[in-house]
Amino acid sequence: MNNSNGASGKASQPHVTKSFSKLAHDAIELAELQVKLFKLDSRDAGRDMRATMILSAIGLVLLLACLPVVLLAGAEALVEYSQWSHFEALSIVAAGSLVLCVILGAISWWKLKKGLTSWQRSNEELSRNVAWLKSTLSNNSQATSKTQAATSRI
């Protein structure tokens, strides 16, 4: 008598592989559902934040409305304290503002392009990995079932 219960260790191997394969497949499906839920929650959160976005837009509009006044005040300060003409002071303030806007716009555009590219790459890679893993686990499960059926006939 080799084993106390008469079962061989080889016969239980396909069952363990099949069980693990099913478990891993279910775990992947669960992770996929979790990601879908996260996307839905994000969409709902975006909808809920609509009022916040509207208030932020109003604040931004008021800030933009104040900028010309601030720039004119800066130019008037140059006229008052540096004895420059109005034309010189306004030209210097306008040129400085324009240079600052171009620099900030270029940095923002560069960062936006970089951020969007990396997110898209991650999303595509995750989709490919999940599809490959599900396919591999499904194929292993089918191969194990065929092997088990062939062994049981013998």
Q: Residue 151 is encoded by which pair of tokens?
A: 């062994």
Q: What are the backbone dihedrals phi and psi of residue 132, each rounded to the nearest 5 degrees, phi first?
A: -65, -45
Q: What are the backbone dihedrals phi and psi of residue 8, each rounded to the nearest 5 degrees, phi first?
A: -90, 155
- Which parts of the chain register pLDDT below 50? 1
Q: What are the backbone dihedrals phi and psi of residue 49, each rounded to the nearest 5 degrees, phi first?
A: -90, 5
Cα distances (angstroms) measured from residue 138 to each of 10, 81, 99, 130, 131: 22, 79, 59, 12, 10
- pLDDT tens, residue by residue, 106-116: 999 998 887 76
Q: What pLDDT score was predicted for residue 97?
A: 96
Cα distances (angstroms) measured from residue 146 to each of 8, 19, 20: 19, 14, 16
